[in-house]
Structure 1
């Protein structure tokens, strides 16, 4: 049992970590800020910041997590409130009021021209030189490399201070991070101006980011909506690389990426199993009552040694009816010998020993064949799991649901221990099976699961706005409570069964 617990912890860590890795990679692909990617669950034991992301190892060895900026709507709104305490509560990222609108549009046009002249991979100074010439041509007043004092330090310089109204910071890097935002915010405080712009010329589609000084009160009578054509060019700094700022399609892909990674893991592991092959063996699946096999205590799951084909074993038994034979049986890793006499005239429907047999094992396949068979098998398993779940749900509505065939934590530990006793290849099979089961379970449109989050995004797409945060919060809480209750019921049944 201890071996089973160890393997379950390892399996759980692999499955959850791979799932979270899917979210992490998709978020990075779409340029979001991932604040932390952790192995295990907090409290943190060790962490190292590489780039903008903290990679951590945590005390509880159960999977992992990632922290994507803005994914938690409640936390995101809280941060907005802290950064802009005077802003109306209903102000959103996409309807922030326009400050210095005319000047902003002029600057945006010039920034596009600078990127068109130099491309995406020039140095910041080169962009600054081109922009300076464009500002002169447009008769826009500016100060370049303006030194300012922050916290008694004179080492800070603003890239451009435009018309004594706008702080403009130029970047040429992979992405803008929170440090860039807070630096610009400090410049705004020091200069006592309301608006800053950060532009990253490395971006394939140039998107100047607006940074607002929270010391200035938002005037609700000013313009609040940008035209549809320009709404993605000017966003408040809270929306910089935030999950909530992405289109619904990209948010959906980030959520779905976790499920996809579990499918890819299951497919990979099953392909490995096909490539390695499983030794051929004969297993006893059932033992008839009052039979010679029952008399010597043969049991389902016993492996018959020295034979790899059922037909060969049956031929051996039939040739020795009425004679004593010795059977070598492997049970839980231990080989034992049993003496018995096959019946000459067994009852109808039974063999000479009174056992039912099955052949177990897979022949080795080449790499391409393994990958193809692994894909077909993975899809087949997912189809069968979907059918089983839908049948269970359908029977639940008529009061005939049967949870006996569903394994909870205790059952999984027992099954894992059995698989471990059979060999490493059987553990791989079980890992793949659990991973593919998680694909189906996680994609179900139920609150607290990834499928539930996708359902909420679909509703948002249809109605044109997100569901109320309070509703989403309560729905996820109820969904999680239901799943925990279901897990408790299954665990109790496992304990009674095992």
Structure 2
């Protein structure tokens, strides 16, 4: 339910942003904006400022801009082609700009990235990214996003820092009961699991896909360049 609400309000916010960008572009181009509304009628609040009516409406499914269509000053159809082009594309451009700013923020303050075992890192973690159906991993309750911190067999303990290290240990102990120390959010717990001796084709002994994840942070200029690259700007 929480995820649904998050998606719902995110879509509303993006729609309002999209229409507001059209509104600003129209105003800057000298086009008469008859109404800018949040939601869809019937209206529950309205206020006229200058020549534009601003409204809040009952149905919370986005927003709209109503451009003036009467003959006279500020008519959209009478604008030069490039100005009409800017107004039409303003919503899409705003999405690009917001996406770019989000990526810049993430690259500046930390974004999870997949790295190889060969790359040096003191903070990388081995994370489950995929679990096969009816595999030992699924049966024991492992989930995508779980971090495997340690592998234990009897009195032996191995800190897990690389994907290949874990894969070799699992292969070595097929058919034997082993313990994986799991980090899930703020929880840390042990899971007992027996790697399969003869797993189905295309699956490993415990049925998981793994990735080595690290948090990358960049200086501001590098963050800006990476953000622009990610959004194709």
State the TM-score, normalized to the length of structure 2: 0.72
Confirm or deny that 1:324 pairs with 2:157.
no
Match of 1:263 in 2: 96
Match of 2:206 in 1: 353
Judging changes above 3 Å, is the alpha-carbon distance between structure 1 residues 266 and 304 closer, same or farther for their aligned structure 2 residues? same
CA contact 1:285–1:358 (8 Å) conserved in 2: no
Hey, what's the Cα distance between the residues in 2 that align with 1:249 and 1:19?
19
Confirm or deny that 1:283 pairs with 2:106.
no
CA contact 1:69–1:242 (8 Å) conserved in 2: yes
Match of 1:254 in 2: 87
Secondary structure in 2 matching 1:264: helix
Hey, what's the Cα distance between the residues in 1 that align with 2:200 and 2:88?
59
Alignment of 1:13-412 (within 5 A): 13-70=12-69, 76=70, 238-278=71-111, 281=125, 282-287=127-132, 292-299=136-143, 301-306=144-149, 309-311=162-164, 313-314=166-167, 317=170, 322=176, 324-328=178-182, 330=184, 337-342=190-195, 351-360=204-213, 362-379=215-232
Hey, what's the Cα distance between the residues in 2 that align with 1:275 and 1:255?
32
| Unmatched runs of 5 consecutive residues or more in structure 1 | 71-75, 77-237, 381-498
Match of 1:121 in 2: none
Judging changes above 3 Å, is the alpha-carbon distance between structure 1 residues 308 and 56 closer, same or farther for their aligned structure 2 residues? farther
Hey, what's the Cα distance between the residues in 2 that align with 1:369 and 1:355?
34
Structure having the higher helix fraction is 1
Match of 1:191 in 2: none
Higher Cα Rg, which structure: 1
Judging changes above 3 Å, is the alpha-carbon distance between structure 1 residues 293 and 6 closer, same or farther for their aligned structure 2 residues? closer
Count of aligned residue pairs for this structure pair: 210
Judging changes above 3 Å, is the alpha-carbon distance between structure 1 residues 242 and 338 closer, same or farther for their aligned structure 2 residues? same
Judging changes above 3 Å, is the alpha-carbon distance between structure 1 residues 349 and 5 closer, same or farther for their aligned structure 2 residues? closer
Deviations along 1:298-346, one digit per CA (max 9) or x if unpaired, are: 45x2512436643454466467664531442639x87664212446787
CA contact 2:132–2:203 (8 Å) conserved in 1: no
Structure having the higher strand fraction is 2
Judging changes above 3 Å, is the alpha-carbon distance between structure 1 residues 247 and 347 closer, same or farther for their aligned structure 2 residues? closer
Match of 2:155 in 1: none
CA contact 1:274–1:362 (8 Å) conserved in 2: no
Hey, what's the Cα distance between the residues in 1 that align with 2:106 and 2:231?
12
CA contact 1:286–1:357 (8 Å) conserved in 2: no
Hey, what's the Cα distance between the residues in 2 that align with 1:348 and 1:20?
51
Hey, what's the Cα distance between the residues in 1 that align with 2:38 and 2:104?
26
Tell me by how many angstroms 1:255 deviates. 0.8
Hey, what's the Cα distance between the residues in 2 that align with 1:14 and 1:308?
40
Relative contact order, CA 8 A, sep 6+: which one is greater? 2
Hey, what's the Cα distance between the residues in 1 that align with 2:104 and 2:72?
42
Secondary structure in 2 matching 1:251: helix
CA contact 1:9–1:61 (8 Å) conserved in 2: no
State the TM-score, normalized to the length of structure 1: 0.37
Secondary structure in 2 matching 1:39: strand
